[in-house]
Structure 1
Amino acid sequence: MSTTERPRILVVGGGYVGLYAARRILKKMRYGEATVTVVDPRSYMTYQPFLPEAAAGSISPRHVVVPLRRVLPKAEVLTGRVTTIDQDRKVATISPLVGEAYELPFDYLVVALGAVSRTFPIPGLAEQGIGMKGIEEAIGLRNHVLEQLDKADSTTDEEVRRRALTFVFVGGGFAGAETIGEVEDLARDASKYYASVKREDMRFILVDAADKILPEVGPKLGKYGKEHLEGRGIEIYLSTSMDSCVDGHVVLKNGLEVDSNTIVWTAGVKPNPALARYGLPLGPRGHVDTATTLQVQGTDYIWAAGDNAQVPDMAARKAGVENAWCPPNAQHALRQAKILGDNVISGMRGFPQKEYSHANKGAVAGLGLHKGVAMIVMGKVKIKLKGRLAWYMHRGYHGMAMPTWNRKIRVFADWTLAMFLKREVVSLGAIETPREEFYEAAKPAPAVTAATPAPEKAKAS
């Protein structure tokens, strides 16, 4: 970290909003006008809409992430967390990955912490659940699912086999429906290479507390998505929830009980709880309360956007929807980040702030290879697509939304190769404990205790 006399713009979070806002600020900033510092526990940004495809092996995991130092060469990138913010002194406390915490002064602040998984105090969830918020979890899920097929194919214990081939997914929004669709595709393809495992032996279960899945694309496409997944043998239980999953014994509110080694939790997100320590005005659900200019209410030097912000949806309010807020999705995050970057520069130079307003352009979702749903909004017309065409729309939109041409090209290359090559079905479960085998080989051998010789019998006199 360098010291500087220039004003410091501190960007807390290197996710979608943090990365794009920092790039925008660096692009619009004059040489030497300010120092941009980005702080995040990870040194890369993850494009979360591609996590289901990474879990299914359709995209290389490395291509779903963008290294911050590579894309922000003119910024300071600190790998750590901002634990507290002192607004009176304009000082942030940085807790690095190693070493002691230290204070970092700033002049302008961008809060882009994003969201974390929304969980509930369900017995067993913390020990058994698998999230889908990071690339590590997507890789872990892929390895885990393939490992379950290995177990099922190698055991003679019917209970172990049934437990390994039962997969439970909680949450029927985009993340849940896309993930179960992709993972079911993966398992179906992989089963061709196992002598005693067939798709009919597997049990996929999707649970949601709401009365429908995929609410983002509307009731008709949501119904189609449900019927499509059910047609692939996936059990869907709506208007129900999970009561417990202790030791993998899943108990649903509707009375269903199953044993499973795989419990995937995708039941929504909530703002990062670290926000509570920043002393910022928060909305009823914990989001940072912002004005239409993305400035935090009551301040003129702090901005927030994305999943951790409560941003008024001006387009919806103009259409007559009261108290509408921007939903947490990629199309809003990208556009908010650009306006936020422009407003930081304007605020630094004393110019007026722009208001953020964006009309919803629709939503797209992939449900596995060549399967999807899409709702495209063009003015007052809504175009609804399903099947292969919707899947092309899903890939086209997110492929172009992927940050940097480097990553765009790599993602499209992965898709192109997949047209000619079969899906990889190799489990690299040992990647999670890479030193285990070496440790077993290198650990000291147990000390051998010499046996005490038996006393000789007394010689006969």
Structure 2
Amino acid sequence: MRKILIVGGGYAGFYTAKKLEKWLRRGEAQVTMVDPLPYMTYQPFLPEVAAGTIEPRHAVVAHRRHLKKTTVITAAVSKVDHAAKTAEITPAVGEPWTVDYDVLVMTAGAVSRTFPIPGVADEAIGLKNIEEAMAIRDRMTDNFAKASNLPPGPERDRLLTTVVVGGGFAGIEVFAELRSFASALVGSYHQLEMDDTHFHLIEAMGRIMPEVSLKSSLWVIKDLAQKGAEIHLNTQLASAVGGKIELSSGESFESDLIVWTAGVMANPVVRSTDLPLEERGRLRVQADLRVINDDGVVVDAWGAGDVTATPDLTGAGVGGFTVPNAQHAVRQGKLLARNLVADLRGETPREYIHKNLGAVAGLGLYDGVYQNGRLAVRGLPAWFMHRGYHGLAIPFWDRKVRVFGNWIFSFFLRRDLVGIPDRDVPRAAFERWASRPKA
């Protein structure tokens, strides 16, 4: 049997493994998938997790529950030597070890791309994984509780000021969802009013949401402005040291919740391989998802998803490549599995081509925007389209039922406003009161 090693268990890696289980014949290949996390995160739901409309565990899919024929290793791949066809695996606990393989599949995804702005690494929270979304929710609920005990002033303003950096889909969605979440939180505190809260979105470009038309993006700006949120276009974050926000426009204010959504980059694990990368650090692949270098195809090396620079044969991609989103990663993962099976059987792999089905975003409860070509839908209909699409797109019926259940219960029972700010320090109460031996 040939040994197939999949590096990364996100959209592309998970769907590659799942489809290989379906299409491989008994004894045809042995599949191993390695990822530091034991689950795949459905990232389009992270804004709603942060806003309390989806339970965090319902937005993730456990690897071992759904990959019955795949050997799942919860650890990090720290080095790949494709010339020798070996990979070094480093677990969270224990010594690293080396595995050999016959076919490599690189689907390690992307991580948040940041810049050396003072204070960002120390103060900001990203929005790439479920833990970050949970931390954002807990921080906001804790800040409101603290602010309700303070008189009007700078400290209360800092606690009630939320900043989102990045005006792409992820940034706008979490910005709008948090503003909607704040309106629900305010109703629980008679000491606070919505006018006490402050929401700032910082975008370096001259517009937001490049995936939709300019007209739709301007509508989103107007819609958010009417809700009391402020969007700073053509503005860069200059500093966030100690939570003090300094903008390139000269404006300055303080915030205790800074969410960073200003772009992604290929997982740095690809830099620890001998595989060819392009100038942005992404793995070079051709349209059939085989890795290539200047001399042609790199034998037995494949890649898909955000970690790769995959040609967009529709001509719509930025720079000629598919954009890093779930829509492409899922479809590339499925095609990659099909191509791996075809290659094992001496057949010709297919090229990846997928025309964008449009873009849909939620803007808080009962509000959204959808764009497909010249067709634009806004408001409540787009919100229903957003929930319908993503509710059906999350894999497996157990996840779909749980997510739709979240929405139904929230509609009748109202949004769950409980935060657990001490989640990261669960032993704090025990340590405080625990008896210790006398000196």
Same fold (TM over 0.5): yes
CA distance in 2, matches of 1:217, 1:322: 14
Q: Deviations over 1:91-137 (max 9, x none)?
A: 11000121100001111111111110010001111110011111001
Out of 40, 49, 65, which is 1:45 matched to?
A: 40
The letter for the 1-side match of 2:415 is R
Give the CA deviation at 1:445. Answer: 6.6
The letter for the 2-side match of 1:336 is Q
For 2:353, the equivalent position in structure 1 comes to 357
Out of 432, 440, 449, which is 2:432 matched to?
A: 440
Give the CA deviation at 1:280. Answer: 1.2
Q: Is the 8 A contact 1:38 1:76 kept in 2?
A: yes
Give the CA deviation at 1:166. Answer: 1.0
Out of 260, 263, 269, which is 1:265 matched to?
A: 260
CA distance in 2, matches of 1:167, 1:359: 36
For 1:299, the equivalent position in structure 2 comes to 298
The letter for the 2-side match of 1:373 is V
Quick one: structure 1 residues 445 and 146, their matched pair in 2 at CA, closer, same or farther if it must change by over 3 Å?
Answer: farther
Residues 325-340 of structure 1 mapped to structure 2, 5 A cutoff? 325-340=321-336
Out of 20, 25, 30, which is 1:30 matched to?
A: 25
For 2:104, the equivalent position in structure 1 comes to 109
Q: Deviations over 1:17-62 (max 9, x none)?
A: 1110111111100012111111000000000000000111111101
Q: Secondary structure at the match of 1:116?
A: strand
CA distance in 2, matches of 1:109, 1:228: 47
Quick one: structure 1 residues 260 and 445, their matched pair in 2 at CA, closer, same or farther if it must change by over 3 Å?
Answer: farther
CA distance in 2, matches of 1:268, 1:323: 16
Q: Secondary structure at the match of 1:299?
A: strand
Q: Is the 8 A contact 2:410 2:416 kept in 1?
A: no
Q: Is the 8 A contact 1:38 1:75 kept in 2?
A: yes
- Unaligned 5+ runs, structure 2: none
For 1:459, the equivalent position in structure 2 comes to none
Identity of aligned residues (%): 44
The letter for the 2-side match of 1:418 is S
Give the CA deviation at 1:406. Answer: 1.1
Q: TM-score, normalised by structure 2?
A: 0.97
CA distance in 2, matches of 1:446, 1:139: 39
For 1:14, the equivalent position in structure 2 comes to 9
Q: Is the 8 A contact 2:83 2:274 kept in 1?
A: no
Q: Is the 8 A contact 1:314 1:356 kept in 2?
A: yes
Q: Secondary structure at the match of 2:315?
A: helix
Out of 51, 56, 60, which is 2:51 matched to?
A: 56
CA distance in 2, matches of 1:280, 1:291: 14
For 1:372, the equivalent position in structure 2 comes to 368
Give the CA deviation at 1:233. Answer: 0.5
Query: Does 2:231 align with 1:244?
Result: no
Moved more, 81-90 or 156-165: 156-165
Quick one: structure 1 residues 110 and 389, their matched pair in 2 at CA, closer, same or farther if it must change by over 3 Å?
Answer: same
CA distance in 1, matches of 2:418, 2:401: 24
Give the CA deviation at 1:309. Answer: 0.7
For 1:279, the equivalent position in structure 2 comes to 274
Q: Deviations over 1:321-342 (max 9, x none)?
A: 8951111112111111111110
Give the CA deviation at 1:155. Answer: 2.2
Q: Give the aligned length.
A: 435
Q: Deviations over 1:153-195 (max 9, x none)?
A: 0124722111101111100101110001001111111101102
Q: Is the 8 A contact 1:12 1:111 kept in 2?
A: yes
Q: Is the 8 A contact 1:316 1:359 kept in 2?
A: no
- Unaligned 5+ runs, structure 1: 1-5, 448-461
For 1:199, the equivalent position in structure 2 comes to 194
The letter for the 1-side match of 2:333 is A
CA distance in 2, matches of 1:229, 1:428: 28
CA distance in 2, matches of 1:416, 1:146: 22
The letter for the 1-side match of 2:396 is T
Q: Secondary structure at the match of 1:11?
A: strand
Q: TM-score, normalised by structure 1?
A: 0.92
The letter for the 1-side match of 2:405 is A
Give the CA deviation at 1:352. Answer: 0.9
For 2:283, the equivalent position in structure 1 comes to 288
Q: Is the 8 A contact 1:79 1:96 kept in 2?
A: yes
Out of 382, 387, 402, which is 1:390 matched to?
A: 382
For 1:453, the equivalent position in structure 2 comes to none
CA distance in 2, matches of 1:323, 1:114: 19
Q: Is the 8 A contact 2:158 2:255 kept in 1?
A: yes
After TM superposition, where is structure 1 displaced by more than 2 Å over at least 4 residues in a row? 155-159
Give the CA deviation at 1:410. Answer: 0.9
Q: Deviations over 1:347-372 (max 9, x none)?
A: 12221111111111111011101111
Query: Does 2:128 align with 1:119?
Result: no
Out of 213, 218, 233, which is 2:213 matched to?
A: 218
